[in-house]
């Protein structure tokens, strides 16, 4: 009853644009990690450790493993703590969503490569707006970027679903599968 149909997914040359956008997403993520590192280097200096933790020899590089709520961060001023945590939050948020966007780009791009690459670039712009807004104005500054990110993810989700549904045979193939289950 379960006959596996083999079907090749043709990959057009335009899929290269999808891969390029995926690489841009990863590069942007890496840049955000770099921003956190720079922020750490500005805040958790040798002078900082000498003043607040003179017993630590050598002081931990860049304040690791403190992620913004540990004993080192407690010694930051409120403004410094906000700067550090806002940068960290932008990076974490990217990390939380990167697997979804890469999956949608790489799968959806099989069906609609140019459209998917274009929406992927919109996502990148949204991530940039999110990062700048959050680091400059705090959580309220992320809203415009968040709207762009979420809208682009919904469009990617929808187009990937439509492409996969069509490729799988849609309602006709689903009906065939369900009928074969009921008679086996």
pTM beyond cutoff 0.75: yes
Predicted pLDDT at 180? 85
Q: What is the mean pLDDT of residues 151-170?
A: 96
The CA-based angle 106-108-110, given to 5 degrees, is: 75
Q: Which residue has the higher pLDDT, 24 or 56?
A: 24
Q: What is the mean pLDDT of residues 150-164?
A: 98
63 conformational bin, left if phi > 0, alpha if psi -120 to 50, beta if neither: left
Q: How many whole angstroms separate alpha carbon 152 and alpha carbon 137? A: 23
Q: What is the mean pLDDT of residues 15-39?
A: 97
pLDDT band at 64 (very low <50, low <70, confident <90, very high): confident
Q: How many whole angstroms separate alpha carbon 7 and alpha carbon 115? A: 23
Say if CB 106 and CB 18 are below 8 A apart.
yes
Predicted pLDDT at 4? 66
């Amino acid at each position: 009853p379960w006959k596996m149909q083999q079907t090749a997914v043709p990959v057009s040359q335009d899929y290269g644009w999808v891969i390029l956008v995926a690489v841009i997403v990863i590069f942007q993520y890496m840049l955000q990690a770099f921003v956190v590192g720079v922020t750490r280097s500005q805040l958790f200096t040798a002078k900082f450790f000498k003043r607040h933790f003179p017993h630590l020899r050598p002081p931990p590089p860049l304040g690791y493993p403190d992620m913004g709520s540990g004993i080192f961060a407690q010694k930051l001023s409120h403004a410094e703590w906000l700067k550090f945590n806002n940068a960290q939050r932008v990076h974490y948020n990217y990390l939380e969503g990167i697997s979804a966007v890469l999956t949608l780009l790489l799968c959806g791009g099989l069906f609609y490569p140019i459209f998917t690459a274009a929406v992927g670039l919109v996502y990148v712009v949204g991530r940039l707006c999110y990062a700048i807004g959050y680091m400059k104005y705090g959580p309220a500054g992320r809203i415009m970027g968040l709207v762009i990110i979420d809208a682009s993810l919904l469009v990617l989700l929808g187009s990937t679903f439509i492409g996969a549904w069509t490729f799988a045979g849609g309602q006709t193939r689903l009906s065939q599968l369900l009928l074969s289950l009921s008679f086996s």
